[in-house]
Chains A and B, each alone.
Chain A
Amino acid sequence: NAGVTQTPKFQVLKTGQSMTLQCAQDMNHEYMSWYRQDPGMGLRLIHYSVGAGITDQGEVPNGYNVSRSTTEDFPLRLLSAAPSQTSVYFCASSYRPNRAINSPLHFGNGTRLTVT
């Protein structure tokens, strides 16, 4: 059971480049989300999805796009990378409350992104 898998582990981009961070889970979780972690700021929610075909914005969505075509995958796209997007990105998933109330989030191991 792999849990939540994120690729790549590390990435360096130049300003203006685009890329996609991949996230896949094999726990049949309906809910998936993306966070960024910056020193002293904890985790901030970028986008989330409560099921295939449904996405919504979190606290810091600007500069990022998501889609959810399957239950398993939730890729995060950086449209035009900026140095302010240098961060560690985490994907996380859980059951929806109507299936398992109080279900905790399960996290991937993160992608460390540097934009120069």
Chain B
Amino acid sequence: AQSVAQPEDQVNVAEGNPLTVKCTYSVSGNPYLFWYVQYPNRGLQFLLKYITGDNLVKGSYGFEAEFNKSQTSFHLKKPSALVSDSALYFCAVRDDNFNKFYFGSGTKLNVKP
């Protein structure tokens, strides 16, 4: 069965500093991995997805994700955090049959001025 884990409930970072939101995955076949962001009272917005062969994937709003097969990780990163990046972030994996997405429990990112 597919699953993702987000080990941190909350990440705090100062504006201008780099940020990392962690995600580890467990899949039985090829990993179809995604990151989403959720702002208050809104639905989830797609940020980026893993593309086979690319260890660094670039996405929306300056975010990128680093894929590491040996560590089964897909960490979300940004070189310089903005206060407006404060939101809830979800990692997700799509299963081998492609009919289900499994989401992590979410990480709340707080960026302080």
Q: Identify A96's interface contact among B51, B98, B103, CB under 8 A.
A: B98
Of the candidates B34, B50, B103, the one whose C-beta lies within 8 Å of that of A43 is: B103
A35 contact set on B, CB distance < 8 A: 103
**Residue A42 interfacial (CB < 8 Å):** yes
Residues from chain A with Cβ under 8 Å of B99 in the complex? 31, 48, 50, 56
Say yes or no for B43: interface residue by CB 8 A criterion.
Answer: yes
A-B contact count (CB 8 A): 57
Q: Looking across the interface, which residue of chain A has its beta carbon closest to that of B102?
A: A45
Q: Considering only CB atoms and an 8 Å cut-off, how many residues of chain B contact the other chain?
A: 25
Chain A interfacial residues counted at CB < 8 A:
26
Residues on A with beta carbons closer than 8 Å to the beta carbon of B42: 109-110
Q: A104 near B34 (CB under 8 angstroms)?
A: yes
- Listed in ascending order, the chain B residues whose CB lies under 8 Å from chain A are 9, 32, 34, 36, 41-46, 49-51, 90, 92, 94, 98-106
